[in-house]
């Protein structure tokens, strides 16, 4: 049986860009497992504790529109909605990464679900393997300015066509993905471990030398991207990974938590 609901009440204006007026209650707030059998349904039915996960099918990176700095997203949002933010901000980050460029992307209503599908899927025969992949998921999530509160290996996505009741938006696919092998993930994590700042800065900024420095923006400054830090000449000096993410993420105390 289906019934019609009317739009959710007040939500953050930046998250409420395309609110539907009516939607089918059957699909409201369903979730999709990225583990085990990939079941879809109400969150209380499909969510699994870490200890219950025996197979990993995909990794989720959650980029919440409300957590990104207005200076990064607002102009695109006003001109072309969430698709424009995806095309102009998110997609260039993904395209620079050998792993992330293969990911599926869904607009979840409040932000973007970047889903890195695995083929073959990873089977866990014990706690040791599950813990190892749990750490790998965390490393992959740290490649982007994503929601730091997003669950790791237990994360759920929202199925395409379902409704996010926080904003009345239908979840839609922005890009179809293709799977990567577990070996590709492990190899890339090794590259990131050896040069965390270098890999992430190049992926976000698109270059290893930026004029002026994106942090201090001092005239005639220059940021050189090294493997573990950045060096700003003629400006703010040493730049760490957290400084890099601060360029994109709003300060925590000012951000409204919308979740996935
Ligand atoms: Zn600087």
Distance of CA 18 from the midpoint of ligand 1 (Å): 37
Residue 19 in this model has a pLDDT that exceeds 70? no
Mean local confidence (pLDDT), 186-194 = 97
Sign (positive or negative) of CA dihedral 78, 79, 80, 83: negative
CATH code for the domain in which residue 189 is found: 3.30.70.1790
Task: Note the pLDDT of residue 20.
Answer: 41
Tell me what pLDDT residue 80 has.
96
pLDDT at residue 227 above 50? yes
Distance from the CA of 237 to the center of ligand 1, in angstroms?
A: 6
Which tens digit of pLDDT belongs to each residue from 130-164? 999 999 999 999 999 998 889 999 999 999 999 99
Least confident of 89-93, 144-148, 152-156, 219-223: 144-148
Q: Collapse the DSSP code of 217 into the 3-class scheme (helix H, G, I; strand E, B; otherwise coil) and give the result.
A: coil
Burial class (CB in 10 A: 0-12, 13-18, 19+), 5: middle
- Ligand 1 center to residue 249 CA distance, Å? 18
Average pLDDT score, the chain? 89
pLDDT higher than threshold 90 for residue 8: no
In a domain, 118, yes or no: yes
Task: Supply the range of the domain harboring residue 93.
Answer: 4-195
235 C-alpha to ligand 1 centroid (Å): 4
Quote the ligand 1 centre to 42 CA distance (angstroms).
47
Distance 222 CA to ligand 1 centre (A): 7
Report the separation in Å between the CA atom of 216 and the middle of ligand 1, taken as the mean of its atom positions: 4
The complex scores an ipTM of 0.99
Residue 185 lies in a domain: yes
Distance (angstroms) between ligand 1 centre and the Cα of 230 equals: 9
pLDDT recorded at residue 115: 98
Tell me the Cα Rg of the chain: 19
150 lies in some domain: yes
Number of domains in the chain: 1
pLDDT of residue 26: 58
Identify whether 81 is part of a domain: yes
Q: How far is the CA of 91 from the centre of ligand 1 (A)?
A: 25
Residue 107, domain member (yes or no): yes
62 within some domain: yes
> Is 217 contained in some domain?
no
pLDDT band for 253, please (50, 70, 90 cuts): low
CA dist., res. 131 & res. 128, Å (int): 5
Q: How far is the CA of 214 from the centre of ligand 1 (A)?
A: 7
30 has pLDDT over 90: yes
Residue 34: per-residue pLDDT: 98
């Amino acid at each position: 049986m289906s019934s019609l609901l009317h739009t959710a009440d007040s939500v953050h204006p930046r998250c409420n860009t395309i609110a539907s007026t009516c939607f089918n209650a059957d699909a409201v707030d369903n979730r999709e497992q990225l583990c085990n059998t990939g079941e879809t349904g109400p969150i209380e039915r499909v969510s699994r504790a870490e200890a219950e996960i025996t197979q990993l099918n995909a990794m989720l990176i959650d980029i919440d529109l409300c957590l990104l700095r207005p200076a990064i997203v607002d102009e695109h949002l006003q001109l072309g909605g969430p698709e424009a933010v995806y095309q102009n901000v998110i997609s260039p980050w993904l395209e620079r990464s050998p792993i992330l460029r293969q990911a599926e992307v869904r607009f979840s209503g409040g932000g973007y679900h970047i889903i890195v599908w695995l083929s073959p899927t990873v089977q866990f025969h014990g706690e040791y393997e599950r813990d190892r992949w749990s750490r790998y998921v965390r490393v992959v999530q740290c490649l982007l300015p994503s929601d730091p509160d997003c669950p790791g290996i237990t994360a759920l996505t929202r199925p395409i066509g379902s409704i996010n009741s926080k904003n009345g938006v239908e979840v839609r696919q922005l890009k179809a993905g293709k799977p990567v092998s577990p070996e590709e993930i492990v190899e890339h994590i090794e590259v990131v471990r050896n040069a965390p700042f270098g890999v992430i800065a190049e992926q976000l900024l698109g270059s290893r030398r930026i004029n002026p420095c994106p942090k201090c923006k001092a005239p005639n400054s220059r940021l050189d991207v090294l493997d573990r830090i950045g060096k700003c000449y003629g400006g703010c000096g040493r730049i760490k990974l957290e400084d890099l993410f601060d360029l994109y993420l709003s300060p925590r105390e000012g951000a409204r938590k919308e979740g996935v």
